[in-house]
């Protein structure tokens, strides 16, 4: 019984640590996610979500698939709609983690889009 209580306490402590780390990541993202009026919009570049997925590359395709599935669940079907989200808002969507965010940023850079 004591072991179970210690295990539960350990899990709760780890969850608290993860929550603190997530808050730090969101805070850092909020600081760097400032709009740039000179960057081209998604409509100017005429890219689609499919283009974004392709830019993930084969190695990171599972992340792209997960991203599109989550976006579709939230009614986001165009790249322009996606770009209206902040990185913090994207992280708030269930199923999106720091890895997906990292590879999304890289894919957008490959397309010449700063987010």
Short-list 108, 48, 40, 53, CA closest to 78: 48
Count of the separate structural domains present in the chain = 2
Task: Give the CATH number of the domain where residue 83 resides.
Answer: 1.10.150
pTM > 0.75? no
Cα gap 85→82, rounded to integer Å: 6
Q: Do 108 and 76 reside in the same domain of the chain?
A: yes
What range defines the domain where residue 97 resides?
42-115
Q: Which of 30-39, 45-54, 89-98 has the least mean pLDDT?
A: 30-39
Q: Do 27 and 47 reside in the same domain of the chain?
A: no
Structural domain contains residue 37: no
Per residue in 56-72, pLDDT (tens digit) is: 999 999 999 999 999 99
What beta strand segments (E) does 1-115 contain?
A: none
Cα gap 75→9, rounded to integer Å: 38
């Amino acid at each position: 019984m004591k072991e179970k209580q210690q295990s539960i306490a350990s899990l709760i402590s780890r969850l608290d640590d993860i929550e603190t780390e997530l808050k730090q990541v969101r805070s850092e993202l909020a600081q760097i996610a400032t709009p740039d009026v000179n960057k081209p919009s998604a409509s100017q570049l005429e890219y689609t979500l499919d283009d974004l997925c392709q830019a993930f590359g084969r190695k990171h395709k599972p992340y792209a698939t997960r991203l599109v599935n989550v976006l579709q669940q939230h009614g986001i079907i165009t790249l322009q709609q996606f770009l209206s989200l902040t990185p913090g808002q994207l992280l708030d969507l269930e199923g999106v983690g720091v890895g997906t965010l990292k590879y999304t940023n890289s894919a957008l850079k490959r397309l010449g889009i700063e987010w």
